[in-house]
Amino acid sequence: MGRDIDRASQRASQLRQKLEHHNYRYHVLDDPVISDEKYDHMFRELVVLEQEYPELVVSDSPTQRVGGEPQERFQKVEHHAPMLSLGNAFNGEELWAFHKRISKLLETDEVDFATELKIDGVAVAVTYENGVLVRGATRGNGLVGEGVTANLKTIRAIPLKFRKGVSRPEIVEVRGEVYLPVSAFNRMNEERAEAGQSPFANPRNAAAGALRQLDPRMTALRPLAFFAYSIGYVAGMSFKTQIEVLKQLREWGFPVNAHHRHQEAMAEVVQFCYDWERKRDSLDYQIDGVVVKVNRLDYQDRLGVVSRDPRWAVSYKFPGQLATTRLLEIRINVGRSGALNPYAVLEPVQVGGVTIRTATLHNEDFIRRKDLREGDVVVVKRAGDVIPQVVGSVREKRTDREREFRYPDRCPVCKAPAIRAAGEAMAYCTNRQCPAQGLEALKHFVSQGAMDVRGLGPQTLEKLLELKLIQDPSGLYLLTEEDVAQLPSFKEKSIANLVSGIEQSKSQPFHRVLFALGIRHVGESIAGLLAAHFADIDPLMEAGEDEISSIDGIGPEIAGSVRNYFMAEDNCGLIERLREAGIHFQSAQKALKGEGPLAGKTFVISGSLPTFSRAQATEFIESQGGKVTSSLSSKTGFLVVGESPGSKLEKAKQLNIPQIGEEELKTMAQAKSKL
């Protein structure tokens, strides 16, 4: 027993170091060197070790990012130093006025600056003692914030401890911004719309709401991110410039926004602000301006603070992104779950440099509450600077010719009755065979984050349905090159690419397959929770609502939706057809339990495989119970050989290790019994 726990302790320590290293490469250096699947595999191995040997669990283990019971309320936390607000500048002239003020106070024109993008998120302060995270809080009123330590620990970009080998002050308070990436925000709103829930107004609100969850497990369901931008307090260290502070934060292991700059003159600062005003939409996170700071910290001390605004910094604010136009028509889009989603057709208008022609109207209650009518002059904004949204109508411009919108009681596509249940925000088409639902379900199935079938866009899907080459997602896996050749504009290379893309999608992990099924209320996060709990679709299909809702993060409404999905005969038929086509309805977690047709077998991969990438081949083998290593040894069971295998092929021959190709690997995985 002693040796077992010693080995487990050593392996757990190795895994923690590796996970911390790869977390740093991903979030700080933006240079990952392993796939997400490989990271997840190491993480799961650590989880299993800590479950088997609870005495090995330490507070700064990556597995402890989500844990503990929900809080009854947030404790008040006093900041080590005030978190100050900033004065604003709205144009170049006001930036030059800021420069004139500080030059006069410092009695010199020789002032340099640090310019940083102003992330539109939630300001927080995280405190470390001897390099270990001990406390996290929101800004609050600048003097006292709310303690949200457990919630901040769920954000992988915030280090639980400083990197090995760097200076570790006794106490340091780091300030930064928690934000929600735009791509994640869009996915979440699509899922909420499909589920009949009101969308989040913007990424900042969604991030703020996540941080104020009393249960950190709910916070963890939102893919929050973080940028550090300053040190509020530090014991035993000093810095000369803001640029030096940012460099130190990065060395400790914090992600620092890559677009900060050291500017020698105010003319460079002004140009930087103007440039980012034009480029703001190129980022996957929201910015609402640029923060301009005097770079030298001794100058900052000399300039001091007026009221609660520092004299040494100013926030250049981008102009608002609002416009007025005419609402020509209100139309209905039918989602994959049958939800009747209203949207506005607008007279084209420029908002923030983008031409807007349509905008979301959320649901019937939104239209009624805003009293929106066809023909109205309306105010439009890019909600969160991304999704076009109608703010309201300009009622003084009404002419009495505007038309009130009547929400349909039948599906506009198949004409089946549409029913809005009590408590629901949306009405739903009652026809399971509705063509619009089928098309939207296919779009979702092949989308990024689900099966991720490259080269299969909406128009191609429509044509496949029109030609009756497919009827549901399972039909994709029966397509031949001859079938695809019937599509307009598809030539030899595009045909081969599409068929290859469909084949590669078979290797997607279980949680992505679950998400691809389009079960109502089951987004990417919920699919991950279900896959982690059940590890195989068969017990999930048989599970009752009580068992499903017992999973942390899943409530009765979601559990009922999941149960209803698997009770439908046509859904079960689809799953069987997908299974027959080679889709894997089993989690890689089973590999950790020694289950699956490849259990007990060790593989090494060499060369380029026909349809699998290296990461996909690894995920495939692990999902079937096998193990993948990077180097050959006498214990290696098989070398999986692709094109240009290199020296590993010769070594395998010397060690008498069997060599197999991709097709042989798939055949082994389909075996009914262990080899």
CATH number (domain holding residue 387): 2.40.50.140
- CATH code of residue 214: 3.30.470.30
Q: Cα-Cα-Cα-Cα dihedral of 32, 38, 44, 50, to 10°?
A: -70
Give the residue numbers spanning the domain of 213.
Answer: 87-317
Both 326 and 310 in one domain: the answer is no
* 214 and 270 belong to one structural domain: yes
- Write the CA distances from 675 to 155, 636, 669, 670, integer angstroms: 42, 15, 10, 11
- Are residues 331 and 308 both part of a single domain? no
The 3-state DSSP class for residue 638 equals strand
Distance CA 519, CA 560 (A): 11
* Secondary structure element (H or E) that encloses residue 493, with its range: helix 492-504
Tally the domains of the chain.
5
Dig out the tokens for 460 from the structure. Answer: 């191609």
Angle ∠(466,467,468) on CA atoms, nearest 5: 90
Q: Which residues pair with 262 in a beta bridge?
A: 114
Let me know whether 326 and 313 are in one domain: no
Same domain, residue pair 262 and 144: yes
Q: Which residue, among 135, 138, 161, has the nearest Cα to 150 in the 3D structure?
A: 135
Q: Is-catalytic flag, 468?
A: no
To the nearest 10°, report the CA torsion of 451, 454, 459, 464: -70
Among residues 113, 110, 181, 569, the alpha carbon closest in space to that of 385 is found at 181
451 and 382 inside one domain: no
Q: What amino acid is encoded at 386 in this protein?
A: V
3-class state of residue 379 by DSSP: strand
The answer to whether 251 and 168 have CB atoms below 8 angstroms apart is no
Verify that 312 and 340 share a domain, yes or no: no
Beta-bridged to residue 91, according to DSSP, are none
Residue where a domain stops, chosen among 317, 348, 365:
317
Q: Is residue 412 part of a domain?
A: no
Q: Could you count the other beta carbons within 10 Å of the beta carbon of residue 257? A: 18
408 within domain boundaries: no
Q: Do 167 and 277 sit in the same domain of this protein?
A: yes
How many helices (H) and strands (E) are present in the chain, helices listed first?
A: 25, 26
Residues 502 and 640 in one domain: no
- Residue 210 makes CB contacts below 8 A (sequence gap 6+) with 151, 180, 218, 219, 221, 222, 224
Q: Say if residue 270 is in the same domain as residue 328.
A: no
Q: Which run of H or E residues covers position 281?
A: none
**Whether residues 20 and 41 fall in one domain:** yes
Report the alpha-carbon distance of residue 85 to residue 309 in Å, rounded.
Answer: 5
CB 390 within 8 A of CB 327: yes
Please identify, among 400, 420, 452, the residue that sits at the C-terminal boundary of a domain.
400
Angle between helices 662-669 and 614-623 (to 10 degrees): 20
- Tell whether 427 is covered by a domain: no
How high is the pLDDT of residue 92?
92
Would you say residue 409 lies in a domain? no
**611 close to 601: Cβ distance less than 8 angstroms:** no
Give average pLDDT by consecutive 10-residue segment, the chain, 675 residues. 73 85 74 72 80 78 65 79 87 94 94 96 95 93 88 93 91 96 86 72 86 85 94 94 97 95 96 92 90 96 84 88 90 90 93 81 91 94 70 91 93 93 86 88 89 86 92 93 89 88 89 91 83 87 90 84 91 93 76 66 83 71 76 84 79 88 83 41
pLDDT value of residue 672: 38
Burial profile 211-225: b = 16 or more Cβ within 10 angstroms, e = fewer:
bebebbbbbbbbbbb
Instruction: From the candidates 38, 76, 100, 118, give the one annotated as an active-site residue.
Output: 118
215 shares a domain with 157: yes
Q: Residue 72 has what pLDDT?
A: 58
Secondary structure (3-state) at 179: strand
Of residues 232, 209, 201, 204, the one with CA closest to residue 148: 209
Place of tokens 């999973």: 551
For residue 60, what is the domain's CATH number? 1.10.287.610
Question: Does a structural domain hold residue 60?
Answer: yes
Residue 611: give its domain's CATH number.
3.40.50.10190
- pTM for the predicted model, two decimal places: 0.56
As a residue count, the chain comes to 675
- What's the pLDDT score for residue 67? 53
Do residues 637 and 586 make contact, with C-beta atoms less than 8 angstroms apart?
no
Asked whether residue 41 is domain-assigned, the answer is yes
Question: Whole-angstrom Cα distance, residue 508 to residue 37?
Answer: 10
- 72 located within any domain: no
Q: For residue 483, is it within any domain?
A: yes
- Per-residue model confidence (pLDDT) at position 673: 36
